[in-house]
Amino acid sequence: MEMTQPLASFDPHVIERPLTTVDVVIFTVLEQRLHVLLVLRPDTPEEPFKGMRALPGGFVDMQKDDDLEGCARRKLQQKTGVRSPYLEQVGSWGGIKRDPRGWSATHVYFALLPATESPEDGTPSSDAKWFPIENQRVSVKLAFDHAKLLEAAIQRLRNKVEYTSLPAYLLPEEFTLSDLQHMYEVVLERSIEKSAFRTRVFAANLVEPIDKVRAGPNRPAQLYRLSQPKEIVYFPRTFSPRKI
Amino acid sequence: MEMTQPLASFDPHVIERPLTTVDVVIFTVLEQRLHVLLVLRPDTPEEPFKGMRALPGGFVDMQKDDDLEGCARRKLQQKTGVRSPYLEQVGSWGGIKRDPRGWSATHVYFALLPATESPEDGTPSSDAKWFPIENQRVSVKLAFDHAKLLEAAIQRLRNKVEYTSLPAYLLPEEFTLSDLQHMYEVVLERSIEKSAFRTRVFAANLVEPIDKVRAGPNRPAQLYRLSQPKEIVYFPRTFSPRKI
DNA sequence: CTAAGTTAGTTGCACAGTATCACTAATTGA
DNA sequence: TCAATTAGTGATACTGTGCAACTAACTTAG
């Protein structure tokens, strides 16, 4: 670690430090569409982007937060009440231009919530609302560089959905294969072949059947749960030798 | 953005801010092995982890650095002299425990250098040295949580190599297909089928032939360059419909 | 000049996974 | 009882890769 002024390297307390925040992109699927939770910026004259929509987030609290992920979980619980959804870091963005109050760095996470757990239409913290995502964007204008952050999160989600079990985290514990396929289709915004999907899901050992079916006005569907609830499953990739 | 003390939300200058650093994991391939550039921690009593090896990096300079990536490029050039190699963010790690001087957040990037551009065996800044990577690790003990950061960078690299053109950035502008295949094999630490590799590379339109061959003690090899030198190419994934 | 050695590059076939599509199964409600 | 609807299966074609044997083009040793 090199420093311009020698002093700085001796006493890190005098080093200028950026404003440090965490923002969380919270996804859920409502009404056949991917939605993201957005909050209202406070409407005080001191706050930048007052009254606009923004990603839930805020300054790291060096007393409360042991680490960045803890900070993200805290903000997530404040806004949704949900404790342990799927949470993954997207990356960090920092620079002089992104916040009028000065050099700042934000750490972006995305979370996946089952619609059943996502605060019922309205939300616990009243300033938060679900917005549908249409071609990588949301219809309202966002504060700071949050449009860019949101786009990156969507990109990451879409990308990863192609070869992982991520969409399963958008469902409650018990679900049918059609439910699961539907989540893939909603996130990827394209239809998937039923037969290929099923063989793939079984081959990856993604789910296991439970002793229940879902009844309805037509043929009942077998219910499943995740085989490894805590781990995401990767579908086979390429460049893999046939013999192990 | 919510605050504990109302004051804080009005004057961000009084908000406690973490120490903010950028660390760069610089990869190259030397002698058939993946190597990473490590520097020596200064040997002054004021610095933590004195005399140990660490990833090149250091505090963000809010005067010099417009943004995090700029900071990473600056540090990269200081240590290697190289201006525009492949550079990608791995993620950020922040918390109370990772630096004895207090709450800190680091932003980790990885860079890929052609062996030809990587400072000749020795290095410009004399405290930096190349270390070979053996099963996700380096043989020396690293300062801070840099072992973890390095592992994450290696993981990301390995993962992405499976389905992208990344290893091409470990080669000079002109290379043979055998060179390219060799880079894949070194990074993935396994051999790849020549024929399948070639059809894959051509199908993805990764390279284009130039009007030169490399002579040698045996059959001369066609030289190629990247088709899209500025973009990484993704190999086809799954869940893709056959008809477009 | 030729044969051996070496690396570059091609070809053909086997095999696995998935796309596509047509089919069967199980329920409700008219 | 039949139409409608969704669940689930099966058969086949296609595509990309694994694998192995082949041909090609050069250098060097004799």
Question: In sequence order, what E strands does A42-201 have?
Answer: 53-54, 57-59, 86-95, 104-112, 128-134, 137-138, 175-176
pLDDT of residue A49: 80
pLDDT (0 to 100) of residue B12 = 61
- Please, which positions of strand C sit below 7 A from a protein CB? 5-12, 15-22, 25-29
Rounded to an integer, the average pLDDT of A229-236 is 81
Cβ contact A1–B16 (<8 Å): no
- B119: which residues sit within 8 A by CB, 6+ positions away? B80, B81, B128
Residue A6 confidence class, pLDDT cut points 50, 70, 90 = very low
| B54, B68, B93 ranked by CB distance to A95: nearest | B68
Which value, to the nearest 10 degrees, does the dihedral of the CA atoms of residues A29, A23, B26, B145 take?
-110
CATH of domain B6-160: 3.90.79.10
Cβ atoms of residues A10 and A108 within 8 Å: no
- Residue A44, burial from CB neighbour count under 10 angstroms (0-12, 13-18, 19+): exposed
- Scanning every strand, the nucleotide with its C1' closest to B204's CA turns out to be D16
Comparing A171 with B136, the larger pLDDT belongs to A171
Here the ipTM equals 0.89
Domain spans, chain B: 6-160, 164-226
Q: What burial class does residue A198 get, using C-beta atoms within 10 Å of its C-beta: 0-12 exposed, 13-18 middle, 19+ buried?
A: middle
The answer to whether domain A15-160 has CATH 3.90.79.10 is: yes
| Class at the top of the CATH hierarchy for domain A164-226 | mainly alpha
* Chain A, nearest residue to B235 by Cα: A238
Strand partners, B94: B105
Q: Does B162 sit within 8 Å of A68, measured CB to CB? A: no
Among chain A residues, CA nearest to B194:
A239
Which of residues 138-197 of B have CB within 7 Å of strand C? 176-178, 194-195
Q: Which nucleotides of D are covered by protein (CB under 7 A)?
A: 4-11, 14-21, 24-28
Alpha-carbon gap, residue A238 to A215, rounded angstroms: 39
Instruction: Note the pLDDT tens digit of each residue in B9-62.
Output: 446 667 889 999 999 999 999 999 999 999 999 888 778 888 899 999 999 999
Q: What is the pLDDT at residue B8?
A: 42
CB neighbour list of residue B76: distance below 8 Å, 6 or more residues apart? B24, B26, B56, B82, B85, B87, B111
Q: What is the pLDDT of residue B44?
A: 80
Residues A91, B89: C-beta atoms closer than 8 Å = yes
What pLDDT does A123 receive? 52
Average pLDDT, chain A: 87
Q: For residue A238, say whether its CB is under 7 Å from any atom of strand C.
A: no
Task: Please state, for a pLDDT cut of 70, what percent of chain A lies above it.
Answer: 87
Q: Cβ A1–B91 below 8 Å, yes or no?
A: no
Cβ-based contacts of A96 with chain B (< 8 Å) = 62, 66-67
Strands A19-30 and A104-112: parallel
Indicate if the pLDDT at residue A91 is higher than 60: yes
pLDDT at position B238:
55
- According to the model, what pLDDT value does residue A131 have? 96
Cβ-based contacts of A105 with chain B (< 8 Å)? 20, 60, 68, 92, 105, 107
Give the tens place of pLDDT for each residue, B220-232: 999 999 998 888 8
Kindly report which listed range (A45-49, A102-106, A206-210, B130-134) carries the lowest average pLDDT score.
A45-49
Contact B4 A58 (CB under 8 A): no
* Listed residue (A120, A158, A107, A118) closest to A136, CA to CA: A158
3-class state of residue B228 by DSSP:
coil
Spell out which residues of chain A touch residue B10, defining contact as CB-CB under 8 Å.
44, 46
- The phi, psi pair for A7, rounded to 5°, reads -50, -45
Residue B207 has pLDDT above 90, yes or no: yes
pLDDT of residue A7: 41
For residue B242, give both structure tokens: 């056959």
Protein residue closest to C6, using CA and C1': B218
Nucleotide nearest to B193 (CA to C1'): D18
Condensed to tens digits (0 to 9), the pLDDT of residues B137-193 reads 999 999 999 999 999 999 999 999 988 999 999 999 999 999 999 999 999 998 899
